[in-house]
Amino acid sequence: MKENRMHNFNAGPAALPLPVLEEIRDEFLNYKGSGMSITEVSHRSKWFDEVINDAKSRVKRLLKLGDHYHVLFLQGGASMQFCMAPMNLISEGQSADYVNTGTWSTKAIKEAQIQGKKVNVVASSEDKNFSYIPRDISFTMGAAYVHLTSNNTIKGTQWASFPDTGGVPIVCDMSSDIMSRPFDPALFGLIYAGAQKNIGPAGVTLVIIREDMLNRVPENLPAMLKYSTFVSKNSMFNTPPCFAVYTCQLVLKWLEETIGGLENMEKINREKGAILYDVIDNNDFYRGTAEKDSRSMMNVTFRLPSEELEKEFVAEALENGLGGLKGHRSVGGCRASIYNATGIDTVSVLVEFMKEFARKK
Ligand SMILES: *Cc1c(COP(=O)(O)O)cnc(C)c1O
């Protein structure tokens, strides 16, 4: 099976662990003796109940979340959270702090503003084309929350550690680095992540909300846009994206049982990042686009001497079974997304290809 699979550097939807895909295949026609596919059973059945509850428990164990955190599986992508977070969590007369570190933060800010919410953009790296993570930020005392994007998928930057916000809860878009490393959950009031980068297929968004944040949810919101609706219904107010949740469950199981948790996952991710940045730093042919202390361990962005060569690089890589290396259409250049499911072996193949390509040119 492995032989004809591509070395997958897609930014999202992205690679999934091969053992997970094999498990899905093996039980696809007859899920645990039910005589049905998991895509055919009721979301009210004992089979799906077990799936969603197991997925929730695994999220809690992997992230070491206390019982005052609720784990939800929602729809609408991370983009829906850009609107839901301010709608639910900024009360009348309050404002929220946002740090603008790229395309996704810019969208999050806009979605809060169009609702008439007061947004303080307390820091931005737009002055240098979002190539760094701002430091020494003054946050607003009494703000509803501080919004951060932990990893900037398009620009290739990542918060190495989270800032001290003076007790103001952080609301964080972790779409492209959730489960890639451990962190202290106590800083966060809300975490959200579209699944399709690091934990599953498109169609489901993982949302983690702290109990006290629920007190802010206004009564008069539509049910589908209220966090409290999904907390009280175990994410099943309406039909959830069953197959996406099931795939996430298997990825989370792989993370716990095969990888051995987030400390191990982080070690592997650091090693992958190190060998890739090493070839970029030690070869005049390649130039990393993010400042060194802001570099992402998930999305490695780089340029070649010309756009012509970049095109050639992406095409020749593909001929050699390495796919998904084109940078985001808004920025150009090249990008290797090396999420959890992309192994060191795959990154090593890329590194060898990069060395050889540079040598030939
Ligand atoms: C991909 C991505 C998004 C958008 O996610 P959707 O699920 O497509 O809405 C938002 N934020 C970050 C950081 C992303 O990487």
Rounded to 5°, the CA angle 71-74-78 comes to 100
What digits encode the pLDDT tens for the residues 101-129?
A: 999 999 999 999 999 999 999 999 999 99
212 is catalytic: no
Q: Give residue 277's domain range.
A: 261-360
- pLDDT for 182 equals 98
Which of the following is catalytic: 47, 56, 97, 104?
Answer: 104
Nearest residue (CA) to ligand 1, atom 8: 77
Question: Which among 99, 80, 78, 206 has a CA at the least distance from the CA of 143?
Answer: 99
Given 224, 259, 294, the domain boundary residue is: 259
What digits encode the pLDDT tens for the residues 65-96?
A: 999 999 999 999 999 999 999 999 999 999 99
What digits encode the pLDDT tens for the residues 30-53?
A: 999 999 999 999 999 999 999 999
pLDDT band at 2 (very low <50, low <70, confident <90, very high): low
173 is catalytic: yes
Which atom of ligand 1 is the closest one to the Cα of 12? 1
Same domain, 105 and 245: yes
In the three-class reduction of DSSP (H, G, I as helix; E, B as strand; rest coil), residue 148 is classed as strand
Give me the number of domains the chain comprises: 2
- pLDDT for 39 equals 97
CA distance 198 to 179: 7
Q: Are 118 and 96 in contact, with CB atoms under 8 Å apart?
A: yes
Q: Which residues line ligand 1 (CB under 6 A)?
A: 12, 77-79, 104, 149, 153, 173, 175-176, 194, 197
Same domain, 209 and 91: yes
The reply to whether 150 falls in a domain is yes
Which whole number is the average pLDDT over 176-181?
A: 98
Same domain, 231 and 276: no
Same domain, 34 and 137: yes
Same domain, 121 and 219: yes
CA distance 322 to 249: 28
The CATH number linked to 216 is 3.40.640.10
Question: Which among 10, 7, 8 has a CA at the least distance from the CA of 197?
Answer: 10
Task: Assess whether pLDDT exceeds 90 at residue 331.
Answer: no
For a substitution probing ligand 1, which of 150, 153, 330, 337 has the most ligand atoms within 8 Å of its CB? 153
pTM of full prediction above 0.95 = yes
- pLDDT for 1 equals 56
What digits encode the pLDDT tens for the residues 313-330?
A: 999 999 999 999 999 988
Contacts of 204 (CB under 8 A, 6+ apart): 73, 74, 75, 195, 240, 241, 244, 245, 248
pLDDT band at 234 (very low <50, low <70, confident <90, very high): very high
The reply to whether 6 falls in a domain is no
The reply to whether 2 falls in a domain is no
CA distance 335 to 12: 12
Q: Which residues of 241-266 are buried (b: 16+ CB within 10 A; e: fewer)?
A: bbbbbbbbbbbbbbbeeebeebeebb
What digits encode the pLDDT tens for the residues 8-18?
A: 999 999 999 99
Which whole number is the average pLDDT over 224-228?
A: 98
Percent of the chain exceeding pLDDT 90 equals 98
Nearest residue (CA) to ligand 1, atom 7: 77
The reply to whether 298 falls in a domain is yes
Which whole number is the average pLDDT over 243-262?
A: 98
Same domain, 313 and 234: no
- pLDDT for 348 equals 98
Strand extents, DSSP E, the chain: 7-8, 69-74, 95-100, 118-124, 146-149, 151-152, 157-158, 170-173, 188-194, 205-210, 287-288, 299-303, 322-323, 334-337
Same domain, 133 and 277: no
**What tokens were used for 343?**
């192994």
In the three-class reduction of DSSP (H, G, I as helix; E, B as strand; rest coil), residue 113 is classed as helix
Given 259, 283, 313, the domain boundary residue is: 259
Same domain, 58 and 203: yes
Which whole number is the average pLDDT over 152-163?
A: 97
Which atom of ligand 1 is the closest one to the Cα of 205? 7
Task: Assess whether pLDDT exceeds 70 at residue 294.
Answer: yes
In whole angstroms, what separates CA 350 from the centre of its chain?
22
Nearest residue (CA) to ligand 1, atom 13: 175
Given 225, 259, 293, the domain boundary residue is: 259
**What tokens were used for 269?**
């991710």
- pLDDT for 347 equals 98
- pLDDT for 50 equals 98
